[in-house]
């Protein structure tokens, strides 16, 4: 564990050096990145010891704060969740070196970036509730400053504000959660909190709801997701990658950890997580289809993926309630693997989208198009990410969704009514989400990179430099590797859930079932690549042979002699039928001014995309809160002498109360 702490200190030290080098932007970026890479390499040692070896000893230090103690320890669950951090933190940092070249303020930015990475690592290993909450708050604050990097823009400040409120509503729930919990169990150390103790059903339900709100608001579980589509587009792309790929997973970690505190998992907990997951998955992907902003679209896709993770968690929790070890192992296993897989492909997509935004200066998809010809590298890798995000083989997204599908089918084998309902719910929502994800990602990839540019750009975009390319290549290879090497990973994933599910419910129980299936998937994955290569080469030889003509001509547009780029289908028109179908879930409004009269002048049409949950739930809620809080204005005048009277009155009351006792 000391190695782990040394690694964390190295990363934080890099951040401090970057802060000191405030004026030397380039040096600050390089130093901070170097320290992050080195620190992560050091942290990887205890992580691998825990995952594949005999673990690492915890560290307990006395602390002068009341209630708290510096207690750090790493179990397999913590170790598994550090993997996304260890993958994405160095890569985002390296990417930032290229991305921030033309920006000012790298020093402070990297200070917060490294602080965020350190806080996340510490969070995963904190074994004391007070310590946990402290690093949780550091994580929230540092990511707030990362989101508001471009704080000269009003929209960015508003996004940061939304994030700040969302994260603190969650924090409030977490404070209540740990307060109630430690009151019940006595103590703040995780060992005390995990200890067996009968919780009454009412208390455990209350704790579950608090955990769901507290951790769910960080993870972006529907309907607490509304900060994601605000914060992710506002942040620089490597920060979006880190937040979407890693930070929101801290909420999932917290939720899984809190299950160990709550003790017995009631079936209703499982059903609610499953239902929120399925609903969130569908709403997330449907909303992503309606977006015009490429990064906002990716943020909604994160809501969808968190939904899929929650479906896995819910299935696993129901497995605990039904005492079906196979369901437990497959549900939690699928959720954990999807956490890792999503961080890889979403990191890849955000980094590619960042390059597009960086080069073209716009996030509006209706203005982009044809970037394949100008940025072939980014285009190719974005398409790889899009295939992975649509959960298509041979990439990694498929494997984890397969595990969750498999959990559903496996549970139906018991032929018991609730298991069949579970299976039908999981299969229907995953199938619908899968189909819609393919629609959403063909839309983005096709509209941004293929065809022709829809609006002329100010400068000719080109592929970025090595610092931005290298992380992208690495993540794409990782997505492929995780897709075809799943049989090797499955045991690690199975072990990682042990702290939550207990010793007897590992995937070993179902290894006989799942490993041959994963072998089959890997085989097909490799076969896709090999056969595709053979067919492509054969095609090249046959179609491009010398004896036949190879020509280029205009595409068919119903006989128009001069097809213009304005005539292309746009992202909005592509998704219009689906948006119309799911209109009740979306908050899309249209503004149309028709051309009218005998000599019509210009007309205009605009779709305004909003979020139904935000409009119909949060906006009225916060208006209400504001109205109630306004009542307290009577107390606040801005006159110092009246405040002094308040202080005096309070003191006198307190004195009287004490004297009375």
Contact segment (CB under 8 A) with other proteins among 10-18, 199-207, 250-258, 397-405 equals 397-405
Q: Does 409 bind other proteins (CB under 8 A)?
A: yes
> Which listed residue (88, 164, 174, 392) binds other proteins by CB under 8 A?
392
**Whether the Cβ atoms of residue 258 and residue 211 lie closer than 8 Å to each other:** yes
Cβ-in-10-Å burial (0-12, 13-18, 19+) of 33 comes to: buried
Q: How far is the CB of 532 from other proteins (least distance, A)?
A: 4
Kindly state whether residue 410 participates in binding other proteins, applying the rule CB under 8 A. Answer: yes
Integer Cα distance of 563 and 569 in angstroms: 12
Look-up of token digits 């993997």: 83
Between 78 and 575, whose beta carbon lies closer to other proteins?
Answer: 575
Should residue 517 be labelled a site residue for other proteins when binding is judged by CB under 8 A?
yes
Number of other residues whose CB lies within 10 A of the CB of residue 150:
16
Q: Hey, which residues does 606 pair with through a beta bridge?
A: 591
What is the C-alpha to C-alpha distance for residues 123 and 21, in angstroms, rounded to an integer?
A: 28
- 600 contributes a contact to other proteins by CB under 8 A: no
- Nearest to other proteins of 107, 393 (CB atom): 393
Judged by CB under 8 A, the stretch of 124-132, 179-187, 388-396, 600-608 that binds other proteins is 388-396
How far is it, in rounded angstroms, from Cα 210 to Cα 214?
A: 6
Residue whose tokens read 């990417």: 95
Residue with tokens 């080069």: 359
What is the smallest separation between the CB atom of 337 and other proteins, expressed in angstroms? Answer: 15
Q: What are the φ/ψ torsions at residue 364 (nearest 5 degrees)? A: -80, 115
* 337 CB-contact burial (10 Å; exposed 0-12 / middle 13-18 / buried 19+): buried
What is d(CA 441, CA 571) in angstroms, rounded to the nearest whole number? 11
Kindly state whether residue 420 participates in binding other proteins, applying the rule CB under 8 A.
Answer: yes
Q: Give, as ranges, the residues between 256 and 295 that touch other proteins (CB under 8 A).
A: none
CB of 479 to other proteins, least distance (A): 15
Examine residue 605 and tell whether it contacts other proteins (CB under 8 A). no
Shortest spacing between CB 18 and other proteins, in angstroms:
40
Q: Cα dist. 473→348, 382, 386, 389, 492 in Å?
A: 8, 10, 14, 16, 25
Q: Which of 211, 423, 468, 507 binds other proteins (CB under 8 A)?
A: 423
Under the criterion CB under 8 A, does residue 653 sit at the interface with other proteins?
A: no
The yes or no reply on residue 531 touching other proteins (CB under 8 A) is: yes
Q: Quick one: how far is CA 164 from the chain centroid?
A: 17
The candidate with the shortest Cα–Cα distance to 444, out of 339, 527, 352, 529, is 352
485 lies in the site for other proteins, by CB under 8 A: no
Among 260, 473, 513, 619, binds other proteins (CB under 8 A): 513
Residues contacting residue 151 through CB under 8 Å, at least 6 positions apart? 157, 160
Nearer to other proteins, 177 or 402 (CB): 402
* Helix (H) or strand (E) segment spanning residue 521: helix 511-543
* Least distance CB 601 / other proteins (angstroms): 25
| E strand or H helix at 124 | helix 106-125
Q: Which stretch binds other proteins (CB under 8 A): 7-15, 58-66, 112-120, 402-410?
A: 402-410
Binding mask 545-584 for other proteins (x = CB under 8 A): ---xxxxxxxxxxx----x-x-xxx---xxxxxx--x---
Q: How far is the CB of 100 from other proteins (least distance, A)?
A: 30
Main-chain dihedrals φ then ψ at residue 481, nearest 5 degrees: -60, -45
The rounded Cα 158 to chain-centroid distance in angstroms is 20
Least separation in angstroms between CB 476 and other proteins: 16
CB of 118 to other proteins, least distance (A): 39
Least distance (Å) between residue 622 CB and other proteins: 34
Contacts of 227 (CB under 8 A, 6+ apart): 162, 163, 165, 166, 167, 217, 220
Q: Which stretch binds other proteins (CB under 8 A): 233-241, 298-306, 369-377, 609-617?
A: 369-377
Nearest one of 348, 393, 386 to 483, comparing CA atoms: 393
**Which one among 125, 146, 279, 387 touches other proteins, defined by CB under 8 A?**
387
Residue 297 binds to other proteins (criterion: CB under 8 A): no
Nearer to other proteins by Cβ, of 199 and 308: the residue is 308
Q: Minimum CB separation from other proteins for residue 566, in Å?
A: 10
Choose the binding region for other proteins from 191-199, 208-216, 259-267, 424-432 (rule: CB under 8 A).
424-432
CB of 303 to other proteins, least distance (A): 17
Asked whether 442 and 369 are in contact (CB, 8 A), the reply is no
Rounded least distance, CB 131 to other proteins, Å = 42
Which range in 105-113, 308-316, 334-342, 520-528 contacts other proteins by CB under 8 A?
A: 520-528
In the complex, least distance from residue 349 CB atom to other proteins, rounded to whole angstroms: 15
Residue whose CB is less far from other proteins, 87 or 514: 514
CA distance 455 to 446: 16
Provide the b/e sequence for 425-435 (b: ≥16 CB within 10 Å). Answer: bbeebbeebbe
Residue 233 or residue 284: which is nearer to other proteins going by CB? 284
Which pair of tokens denotes residue 20? Answer: 């000191």
Q: Which two tokens stand for residue 376?
A: 């072939």
Answer for the pair 405, 433: CB distance below 8 angstroms, yes or no: no
Task: Output the smallest distance, CB 517 to other proteins, in A.
Answer: 4
Instruction: Report the nearest approach of other proteins to the CB of residue 443 (Å).
Output: 8
651 touching other proteins, by CB under 8 A? no
Applying CB under 8 A, among 390, 396, 492, 501 the residue interacting with other proteins is 390
How many amino acids of this chain bind other proteins (CB under 8 A)? Answer: 87
- The answer to whether 259 and 317 have CB atoms below 8 angstroms apart is yes
Of residues 426 through 465, those in contact with other proteins by CB under 8 A are 427-428, 430-432, 434-436, 438-439, 441-443, 445-447, 450-452
Residues 143-172 that bind other proteins (CB under 8 A): none
67 binds other proteins (CB under 8 A): no
From 263-271, 345-353, 422-430, 476-484, span contacting other proteins (CB under 8 A):
422-430
- The dihedrals phi and psi of 380, each to the nearest 5 degrees, come to -60, -45
Residue 327 CB, nearest approach to other proteins (Å): 14
Question: Distance from CA of residue 303 to its chain's centroid?
Answer: 7
For the chain, how many residues are written?
A: 661
- 406 scored as a contact of other proteins (CB under 8 A): yes
DSSP state of 319: H
- Report which DSSP code applies to 199: P
Cα–Cα distance measured from residue 272 to residue 431, given in angstroms and rounded to the nearest whole number: 20
Residue 296: strand, helix, or coil: helix
3-state secondary structure of 596: coil
Among 16, 524, 585, 619, interactor with other proteins by CB under 8 A:
524
């Amino acid at each position: 564990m000391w190695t782990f702490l040394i690694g964390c200190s190295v990363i934080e030290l890099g951040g401090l050096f970057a802060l000191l080098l405030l004026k030397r932007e380039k040096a600050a970026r390089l130093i901070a990145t170097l320290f992050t890479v080195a620190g992560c390499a050091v942290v990887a040692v205890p992580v691998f010891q825990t995952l594949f070896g005999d673990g690492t000893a915890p560290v307990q230090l006395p602390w002068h704060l009341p209630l708290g103690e510096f207690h750090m320890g790493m179990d397999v669950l913590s170790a598994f969740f550090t993997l996304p951090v260890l993958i994405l933190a160095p890569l985002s940092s390296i990417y930032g070196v290229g991305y921030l070249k033309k920006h000012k303020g790298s020093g402070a930015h990297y200070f917060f970036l490294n602080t965020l990475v350190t806080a996340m690592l510490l969070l995963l290993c904190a074994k004391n509730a007070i310590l946990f909450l402290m690093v949780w708050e550091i994580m929230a604050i540092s990511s707030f400053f990362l989101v508001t990097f471009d704080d000269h823009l009003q929209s960015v400040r508003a996004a940061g504000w939304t994030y700040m409120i969302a994260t603190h509503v969650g924090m409030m729930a977490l404070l209540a959660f740990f307060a109630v919990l430690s009151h019940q169990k006595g103590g703040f150390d995780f060992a005390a909190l995990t200890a067996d103790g009968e919780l009454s059903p009412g208390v455990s339900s209350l704790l579950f709801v608090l955990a769901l709100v507290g951790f769910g608001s960080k993870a972006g579980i529907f309907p607490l997701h509304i900060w994601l589509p605000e914060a992710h587009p506002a942040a620089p792309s490597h920060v979006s990658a880190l937040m979407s790929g890693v930070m929101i997973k801290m909420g999932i970690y917290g939720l899984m950890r809190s299950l160990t505190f709550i003790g017995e998992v009631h079936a209703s907990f499982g059903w609610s997580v499953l239902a929120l997951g399925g609903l969130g998955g569908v709403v997330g992907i449907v909303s992503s289809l309606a977006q015009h902003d490429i990064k906002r679209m990716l943020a909604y896709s994160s809501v969808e993926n968190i939904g899929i993770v929650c479906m896995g968690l819910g299935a696993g929790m129901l497995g605990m309630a039904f005492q079906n070890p196979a369901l437990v192992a497959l549900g939690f296993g699928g959720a954990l693997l999807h956490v890792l897989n999503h961080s890889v492909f979403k990191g890849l997509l955000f980094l590619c989208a960042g390059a597009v935004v960086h080069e073209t200066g716009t996030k509006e998809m209706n203005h982009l198009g044809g970037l394949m010809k100008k940025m072939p590298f980014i285009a190719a890798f974005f398409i790889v990410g899009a295939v992975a995000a649509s959960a298509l083989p041979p990439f990694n997204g498929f494997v984890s969704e397969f595990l969750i599908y498999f959990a559903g089918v496996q549970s139906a084998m018991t032929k018991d009514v609730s298991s069949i309902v579970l299976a039908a719910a999981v299969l229907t929502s995953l199938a619908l989400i899968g189909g819609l994800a393919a629609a959403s990602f063909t839309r983005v990839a096709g509209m941004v990179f293929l065809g022709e540019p829809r609006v002329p750009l100010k400068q000719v975009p080109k592929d970025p430099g090595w610092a931005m390319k290298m992380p992208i290549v690495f993540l794409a290879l990782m997505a492929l590797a995780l897709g075809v090497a799943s049989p090797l990973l499955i045991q690690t994933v199975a072990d990682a859930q042990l702290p939550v599910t207990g010793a007897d419910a590992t995937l070993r129980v179902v290894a006989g079932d799942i490993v041959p299936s994963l072998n089959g998937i890997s085989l097909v994955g490799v076969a896709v690549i090999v056969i595709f290569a053979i067919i492509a080469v054969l095609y090249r030889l046959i179609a491009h042979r010398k004896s036949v003509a190879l020509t280029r001509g205009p595409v068919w547009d119903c006989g128009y002699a001069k097809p213009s780029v304005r005539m292309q289908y746009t992202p909005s028109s592509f998704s219009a039928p689906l948006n119309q179908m799911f209109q009740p879930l979306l908050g899309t409004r249209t503004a149309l001014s028709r051309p009218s009269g005998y000599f019509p002048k210009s007309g205009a049409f605009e779709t305004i995309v909003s979020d139904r949950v935000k409009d119909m739930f949060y906006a009225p809620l916060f208006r209400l809160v504001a109205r109630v809080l306004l009542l307290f204005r009577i107390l606040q005048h801005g006159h110092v002498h009246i405040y002094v009277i308040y202080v005096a009155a309070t003191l006198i009351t307190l004195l009287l109360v004490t004297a009375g006792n």
